[in-house]
Structure 1
Amino acid sequence: MIQHVLFDGIEAIQASNDHLQLLLIPSFGSNVISLVDLKTGQELLVKPDSFAALKESPILHGIPVLFPPNRIEGGTFTFNNVIHEFPINEIGKHHIHGFVYDQPWDVTAQKEEDGIITIETAIGLHEPEIYKDVLIHLTYELSGQVLRQKAIVKNNGSESFPWGIGYHTVFRFDEAVSTFSLTNKSQWTLSEEAIPTGEQVPGEPFHNKNIQGVPLDDAFAAVEQGNEAVLTNNETGQMIKYQTDSSFKHWVVYNGNGHEGFLCPEPYTCITNAFNMDLPHETTGLRVLQPGEEDRVTAQIEIAHPQ
C-alpha cells in the first residue's frame, strides 16, 4: 500500500506490505526517515522527532544519500588537469558528504505490482560545475522483508566526471543486547581527521562482536562477493542484514562514542577522499562516467526473525 501523508507538515510517502513500512521524504534528500518492522512494531532507523530535527542533523537520521560519500580533503581535487573546488563544510577544512542529501528530489514513479512496491525519485544536479549534467535515479523497492535500494547515475553532459555514492544508514542499535558482524578484507589506516593515508592493514574481524562502549569511525575494504553488515539483537533474535552488490567496495562504520544507541554501517562505492588518492581506481572504487554513460548500483536491507 502506498499513501501520501504529512510528516510534521512536510509531504511524505508511506509504503507498506505485510512485513515493513517505510516513510520517505522526497523533498529532503529522498531520505527514508523511517523503516518499521511490522512483525514487532519496532522502528529500525533513527527517525527524526520533527522536520526541524532532520534539517539540523540530516546525516544522523534515516538513510541519507551521499554523492560523493565522506570527505574530500581540502574540498579540492584535480581531474583531467582541471582543479575543482567543493564547498568547505566540515571542521573548516574539508568537504563532506556531497550535494544531494538535503536537496529536493522529484517523484518519477510509484506502483505496486506482483507484491512489490516501487517508489522512484530523481535529481538533476546543476552545481558544482563538474556535476552540472548529472542525473541520479533512486528506486526503493519493498519486497517481503527486504527494502532494496537501486541507484542509477547518468552523465547527460559532454565531459567525463569522477563519482562515488554511499548511504549513511543510521540504524537504532541497543549496544547492551546487540552484536555486529561485517565482511571485510582489510582496514584503511586513517589520519586524525578520518582521511585514509593510502595504507591498508588486515581488517579486524567483526563476527557477532559486542561494540558497546567501542567508538567506531573506521573504514574497511569490502569483500568482492557476499558483502554484508549484520546487526543482531540477541535478546529478540532479530537480524538486520545490509547487503550490497560488488559495486560497493568499502564500508565506513560509525557509532559515535559507542553508547548512543545507533550504528551506521555505511556502504560506499569509493573510499573517503578517493578523488585525491594516488591509487588505482580498482583499489579506491572511484568511477568515471563518460558522456552519455550510466552506471547502476544496488544495496538492500533484509529483516530476519528466529523461526
Structure 2
Amino acid sequence: MELYARKAIHKGAEVVELAAGGYYAIVAHGLGSNVLRFRDNKRGMEIFRYNGSISMGEIMNAPEIWGLPTLYLPNRFESGLLRTSDALYRLPVNEERFGNHLHGFIQKRAYTVKDMAVKGKTAYVVNEYVYDEKDFFYNCFPVKFTVQIKIELSDKGLTHTVTLINQSDKMMPISLATHTTINAPFVDGGLQENIRLQVPAEEHILFNKSKWLPTGKRAKLSEYDKQYVSGTCPVLKDICNDMYSGGTLTLDGKPFHGTIMTDTASGKKICNEVDDKYKFWIVWNHNGFMNYFCPEPMTAQVNAPNLDMPAEQSGYEELAPGKTYTASQRFFTMG
C-alpha cells in the first residue's frame, strides 16, 4: 500500500500529494490549503468534488465549490458589518444582490508548506498563512493572525485541523467552516440519485430568505427536516441553506458527532466526524443538479457576531491576543 508525502505539479501548480491507508489526497497550498482531491482507492470512491478536465484557473475563480476549502469568516455578514467586543469592522460587500459580505478571504490565499512528512503509517502536510498589513484585506480587517492547516492521511481517513493564532492587540472574531463539497456520485460508476444524507439536526435555524440571514428564531424539526436525522434525505433536489444546530447520530451502535453519506446501491459510506467546536450544519447543493452537495460544519451561525443572542446560542467566540484556537474534523469511508 502506497505511503508518501511529496511535492508534485497538478494542473500546472505546485501541490502536495499524500498517500496512506489506501487513501490519496492532493493539497494545494497555493490555493488556501484546499484539499483538491481525496480518493479512497481501495473502495473506488471520489470523495470531494473533483474534475480532471477543469483547469486550475477555473478552480481559483471559485475555490469555494471545489475540494475541501477552509473558510474563516464563512457565509454571510449583513451589510458587510462585523461587530466584536472591541471594534466594528466593515468588510467589502461582495454579494451585491443580497448586500452581504460572503466567505472571508483565506480560501484564496497562497500558503507556505511548513512541514511535510511520513511518520509511521501517517502522511501529512502543514500549511501556513500569515495575515498582516501586507494583505489587501487588512485595510478593512486589521487583526493580525496566523492560520495553520494540517492535513493527515492514514488508515483512519483524512484529518483536517485548523489552528488560528491571534497575533494582534485586539479580540479576534471566531467563525470557522469548511465548504465541504462532496462528489455526486462519490462511488465509481454510481448514481447521484442513490445518495442519501444524514445530518445530526436538532433545531432548524430559520432564515430571512430575502437576504439569506438568520431571523434569530429556531423551529422544531418538520417532517422534511427529520429526513436528515433518519438518513433518508436525497441529495438530488434543490437544497438551499438548510441550517441546523448540531446533535449526535449513531454509527455502528456508538454516538457519532457528524454527517453520514450513503450510496444505497453499494452500501458504501462517507463519514464526516467533527469535534465539539463545530456546533452547526448548513446544507447546500447549488440547485441540486451540479454533481456535488455541501454538508458544511460551522463553529457559529451565519452572521453570528451581529445576532442579538447569547454566544452559547449563536456559537460566536472571540480569541484574546496571543491565544490559539483549534478545530478538527475527520473524513473516512465504510462499506
Q: TM-score range by the shorter chain?
A: over 0.9
Q: Equivalent residue for 1:179?
A: 196
Within 2, Cα distance between the matches of 1:80 and 1:114?
Answer: 45
Match of 1:274 in 2: 304
Displacement over 6 Å in runs of 4+: none
Residue 231 of structure 2 aligns with which residue? 208
Unmatched tracts of structure 1, length 5 or more: none
Closer, same or farther: CA 117–95 of 1 in aligned 2, 3 Å: same
* Partners of 2:80 and 2:96 in 1: CA distance: 11
Structure 1 residue 40 corresponds to structure 2 residue 63: no
- Aligned residue identity for 1:110: M
Determine if contact 1:125/1:131 at 8 Å carries over to the other structure. Answer: no
Q: Which residue is 2:323 aligned to?
A: 293
| Aligned partner of 1:62 among 59, 67, 74 | 67
Structure 1 residues 218 and 17: CA distance shift in structure 2, 3 A = same
Residues in 2 aligned to 1:304 and 1:91: alpha-carbon distance in whole angstroms: 42
2:128 maps to: 122
Q: TM-score, normalising length from structure 2?
A: 0.87
Shift of 1:248: 0.3
Match of 2:108 in 1: 102
C-alpha distance in 2, partners of 1:61/1:136? 20
Q: Quote the Cα distance in structure 1 between the aligned partners of 2:72 and 2:142.
A: 10
Give the corresponding residue for 1:252: 282
- Equivalent in the alignment of 1:261: 291
Cα separation, 1, equivalents of 2:139 and 2:92: 9
Match of 1:222 among 246, 254, 258: 246
Q: Does 1:195 align with 2:200?
A: no
Bigger shift: residues 4-13 or 43-52: 43-52
Name 1:163's counterpart in structure 2: 174
The share of aligned pairs that are identical, in percent, is: 21
TM-score of the two chains, using structure 1 as the length reference = 0.95
1:20, 1:145 within 8 Å by CA — same for their partners in 2?
Answer: no
| Match in the other structure for 2:23 | 20
Q: Does the residue aligned with 2:107 lie in a helix, a strand or coil?
A: coil
Residues 131 and 19 (structure 1), Cα distance of their counterparts in 2 relative to 1, 3 Å cut: farther
Deviations 1:237-289 (A, max 9, x none): 11000110110011110112222221101111111100110111111111101
Contact kept, 8 Å, 1:24 with 1:33, in 2: the verdict is yes
Amino acid aligned to 2:116: Q
Question: Structure 1 residues 242, 128: closer, same or farther in 2, change over 3 A?
Answer: farther
What is the RMSD computed on CA atoms of the aligned residues? Answer: 1.6
Please tell me whether the aligned partners of residues 90 and 141 of structure 2 are also in contact (alpha carbons under 8 angstroms).
no
Aligned-residue offset at 1:129: 5.1
* Cα distance between partner residues in 1 of 2:172 and 2:43: 45
SS at match of 2:267: coil
**Aligned-residue offset at 1:215:** 2.5
Q: Per the alignment, do residues 133 and 16 of structure 1 end up closer, same or farther by CA in structure 2, a change over 3 Å counting?
A: same
Distance 1:246 1:18, change over 3 A: closer
**What corresponds to 2:188 in structure 1?**
none
